[in-house]
Amino acid sequence: MRKLVVLLSLASLLVAGNAMAQIDPDPDMIGVYFDLGATTWCTSPGPVGPYPAYLILTNATALSGVSGWECSVAVTEGVFVLSWLYNGTAVNALSPPNFAVGLASPLPWEPAILLMTFNVGLFAATPVEITVTAQPIPSIPDTPFPLPAYAAGDDPGDLRSLGYSTGWDPETGTPNVAAVINGDCTPTANEDATWGNVKNMYK
Residue 23's pLDDT is 67
How far is Cα 67 from Cα 75, in angstroms, rounded to an integer?
A: 26
Element (H, E) at 13: helix 2-14
Residue 150, φ and ψ in degrees, nearest 5: -145, 165
Residue 43 CB partners (closer than 8 Å, separation 6+)? 34, 51, 180, 181, 182
Residue 90 and residue 57 in contact, taking contact as beta carbons nearer than 8 Å = no
Residue 69 and residue 151 in contact, taking contact as beta carbons nearer than 8 Å = yes
Q: Give me the DSSP letters along 93-130.
A: SS-TTEEEEEEEEEEPP-SEEEEEEEEEEESSS--EEE
Residue 17's pLDDT is 33
Strand order in the sheet with 112-122: 81-86, 112-122, 49-58, 29-33, 163-164
Cβ atoms within 10 A of the Cβ of 68, count? 23
Residue 113 and residue 60 in contact, taking contact as beta carbons nearer than 8 Å = yes
Per residue of the chain (203 residues), give pLDDT as tens: 333 332 323 333 333 333 335 667 899 999 999 999 999 999 988 778 899 999 999 999 999 999 999 999 999 998 999 999 999 999 999 999 999 999 999 999 999 999 999 999 988 888 999 999 999 999 998 778 899 999 999 999 999 999 999 878 877 888 889 999 998 887 654 444 454 555 544 33
Q: Could you give the 3-state DSSP secondary structure of residue 3?
A: helix
Q: What is the largest CA-CA distance in the chain?
A: 50
Show the domains of the chain with their CATH numbers.
2-201 (2.60.40.680)
Cβ burial 161-176 (10 Å sphere, 16+ → b, else e): bbbbbbbbebeebebb
Residue 200 and residue 173 in contact, taking contact as beta carbons nearer than 8 Å = no
Residue 73 and residue 132 in contact, taking contact as beta carbons nearer than 8 Å = yes
